[in-house]
Amino acid sequence: MAKISGNPFLEFDPSKMMGDLKVPGVDVESIIASQRRNIEAVTAANQLAFEGFQAIVRRQAEVLRTVAEDVNRAVGELTAAGTPEEKAAKQADLVKAAFEKSLANIRELSEMIAKSNTEAAEILTKRVSDSLDEVKAAIAKAKS
């Protein structure tokens, strides 16, 4: 095996190591293929989780931008109002609207997080199930 880097973990070849063991009744190639599928599933789940994280960060940035615009607008509306009673009423309306919008944003972000986590977990759950089926098939094959 040619040296790729100075990192021994990058140069480790499990198929060569397992191939050298030659345990009777053990299909080394199927074990290696199964582990490769496990790694692919974890990689896919991580990719989905990262994409979900990016979407959440983008949405949070949009929310922050919108909040800043709303605050500027609210300040303008409050300074334009006339009597103290009108200002108090306007302030109460603005606070209520801001609170409702905040709750909606929190709900939306929570749903985005839950969806991202669920999608990543489904990939891993399916792979665990498939892996257990592979183990059962290997045991059945070894018995026959």
Q: Is residue 22 part of a domain?
A: no
Burial class (CB in 10 A: 0-12, 13-18, 19+), 45: buried
Tokens 């108090």 -> residue: 88
> What's the total number of domains in the chain?
1
* Domain residue limits at 71: 28-143
The mean per-residue pLDDT over the stretch 116-128 comes to 96
Residue 34's nearest CA partner among 130, 142, 140, 111 is: 130
- pLDDT: which is higher, 143 or 14: 143
Q: Is residue 14 part of a domain?
A: no
Q: Is residue 127 part of a domain?
A: yes
Evaluate if residue 1 carries a pLDDT over 60: no
Q: Is residue 20 part of a domain?
A: no
Evaluate if residue 64 carries a pLDDT over 50: yes
